[in-house]
A and B are shown apart, each in its own frame.
Chain A
């Protein structure tokens, strides 16, 4: 390696160091108005505004649509396979393993009798979070579940399903009465009521923040490890950096699966507690 190549490498690293820092990491984590396709360039997305509200199409919106289209296509393929024979082969077989897992290990143990009404919602939430977490791990993909707005929306849907399920089964007043545990001294009842009402709101809030924080933290760790190469201004740290980042990537795959499972399981648990209040 001659002196001019060495100088070029040093200049590149020096220039890169100017840009790396918390801004560089934040640029990759947060939403943006550009779609980046790495070696080629970026597509600028339109800014739209409706009645003063910002409804522009951002990176996360594009990937929301991509995940939605993927879900529809995947399940259309899986459903059509059942028209030919009762025993599925191939892709439909793989989907059946996951669907039966959600039904037998999440819905039935948590909700028990009457689980069929809630199974479509649980399946939708499970596969939506699973697909979005995995698409976020592909290069050039963004994790839409690392956006607090998306996870809050999922938590609001869970909240609506929990309350609606509980109120339809027990009646509006009976549902609130069932929130209070039996065998509680009378002077404790107002406190218990306030605590239980607060608990109704904190549980979906925790669902949203848990998913958001897990996804964002994983990506920040990966970007920090790769950014170490630029920050240290040397290529010798690259093998260590890439090895650690690969290990964290594998951990991220596990976390993606676990977080989808946890969100669905906790939603099913809360639905079960709301519907069958006598437990």
Chain B
């Protein structure tokens, strides 16, 4: 019974849920903050992109493991 493909699929799906939830929350706070203080929009945008890239890095670690599973 070969569960590798199933595991890879479920793993990738769970990773996407976690990553999308985190980045969604981040974007929501960034929108709130820039609404309160429109002059800080540039700084907020830069910090938002940095944090989004870091969160995406984590979800891509899991993606690499899923790809390894699917290719075994």
Asked if B3 is an interface residue, CB under 8 A from chain A, the answer is no
A105 vs B45: C-alpha distance when bound (angstroms)? 14
Q: What is the CB-to-nearest-CB distance from A206 to chain B, in angstroms, rounded to a whole number?
A: 7
Q: What's the minimum C-beta distance from B23 to chain A, rounded to whole angstroms?
A: 13
Q: What's the dominant secondary structure at chain B's contact region?
A: helix
Write out the residue numbers on chain B whose beta carbons fall within 8 Å of the beta carbon of A262.
50, 53-54, 57
Chain B residues in the interface with A (C-beta under 8 A): 46, 49-50, 53-54, 56-57, 60-61, 63-64, 67, 70-71
Q: Does A9 contact B (CB under 8 A)?
A: no
**Residue in A217, A220, A259 whose CB lies within 8 Å of B53:** A259
Distance, CA A48 to CA B12, complexed state (A): 39
| Extra pairs beyond A209-B61, A209-B64, A259-B53 (8, CB < 8 Å) | A105-B46, A209-B57, A210-B53, A213-B60, A213-B63, A262-B50, A262-B57, A265-B50
Q: Does A258 touch B at the CB level, under 8 Å?
A: yes
Given contacts A22-B70, A26-B71, whether A217 and B63 have CB atoms under 8 Å apart is yes
Q: Could you show 9 A-B contacts with beta carbons less than 8 Å apart?
A: A209-B61, A210-B53, A210-B57, A210-B61, A213-B64, A214-B57, A214-B60, A217-B63, A262-B57
Instruction: Report A75-112 CB contacts with B as 1/0, cut-off 8 Å.
Output: 00000000000000000000000000000010000000
B56 partner residues in chain A, CB cutoff 8 A: 214
Residue of B nearest to A209 (CB): B61
Tell me which residues across on chain A come within 8 A of B49, comparing CB atoms: 258
Interface centre among B49, B60, B70, by most chain A C-beta atoms within 10 angstroms, is B60
A-B contact count (CB 8 A): 35
Interfacial chain B residues near A258, Cβ < 8 Å = 49, 53
Q: Please provide the 6 A-B residue pairs with the shortest distance between their CB atoms, ordered closest to farther.
A: A213-B60, A210-B57, A262-B53, A213-B64, A258-B53, A217-B60
Closest partner residue, chain A, to B53 (CB atom): A262
B67 contact set on A, CB distance < 8 A: 220
**Contact call B71/A206, Cβ cutoff below 8 A:** no
Q: How far is the CB of B51 from chain A (nearest CB, A)?
A: 10
Question: How many angstroms from the CA of A105 to the CA of B70 in the assembled complex?
Answer: 40
Whole-angstrom distance between the Cβ of B27 and the nearest chain A Cβ: 15
A residues 236-270 in Cβ contact with B at 8 Å: 258-259, 262, 265
Q: Chain B residues with Cβ under 8 A from A220's Cβ?
A: 67
- Residues from chain A with Cβ under 8 Å of B64 in the complex: 209, 212-213, 216
Note all chain A residues with C-beta closer than 8 A to B54. Answer: 262
**Closest B residue by C-beta to A211:** B57
A61 to chain B, nearest CB (A): 23
Complex Cα gap A164–B70 (Å): 40
CB proximity of A224 to chain B, nearest CB, Å: 12
Which of B46, B54, B61, B67 lies at the interface centre, i.e. has the most chain A CB atoms within 10 A of its CB? B67
Chain A positions 141-199 with a Cβ under 8 Å from a chain B Cβ: none
